[in-house]
Amino acid sequence: MLQGVALNDGLDMSNILENGLILLQHSPNKAVDLSGGRFHGRLFYQHTDGQYVTERKLEDWEIMQAEDQRDYGIVIDGSSTASNT
């Protein structure tokens, strides 16, 4: 048993939203539930009313990537990845 070590030592937890979702992307805002509960692994988008709405279930590799983004505080800028056609 580790004593005196916080679970998030050395990790950037700044992309965890108040509702517990992990913010993955800005513009449009997308987040994932990694809580282990009923919606674990579900991708959400932020509706125009500010609420997060489920979009789809992530693949296992996407969940692993989301966990890395959570652990290192990585948030992608979606506006720079959108096609400009």
Which residues have C-beta within 8 Å of that of residue 76, sequence separation ≥ 6?
Answer: 24, 25, 26, 69
Domain ranges, residue 46: 22-75
Within the chain, residue ranges assigned H as helices are: 60-72
Quick check: helix, strand or coil at residue 60? helix
Q: Taking a C-beta distance cutoff of 8 angstroms, is the pair 5, 21 a contact?
A: no
Please give the residue that has the higher pLDDT: either 74 or 43.
43
pTM: 0.76
pLDDT per position as a tens digit, 33-59: 999 999 999 999 999 999 999 999 999
Q: What is the DSSP letter of 16?
A: B
Considering its fold, how many domains does the chain have in total?
1
Decide if 28 is inside a domain.
yes
Indicate the pLDDT class of residue 81, thresholds 50, 70 and 90.
low
The percent of residues above 70 in pLDDT, for the chain, comes to 79
pLDDT at 4 over 80: no
Side-chain-facing half-sphere of 77: CA atoms under 13 Å:
2
67 to 2, 20, 45: CA distances (angstroms): 22, 13, 17
Domain membership of residue 8 (yes or no) is: no
Say if 40 falls within a structural domain. Answer: yes
2 part of a folded domain: no
Q: Is 33 contained in some domain?
A: yes
Residue 64 lies in a domain: yes
Q: Determine what percent of the chain is predicted with pLDDT higher than 90.
A: 56
Over residues 12-40, mean pLDDT: 89
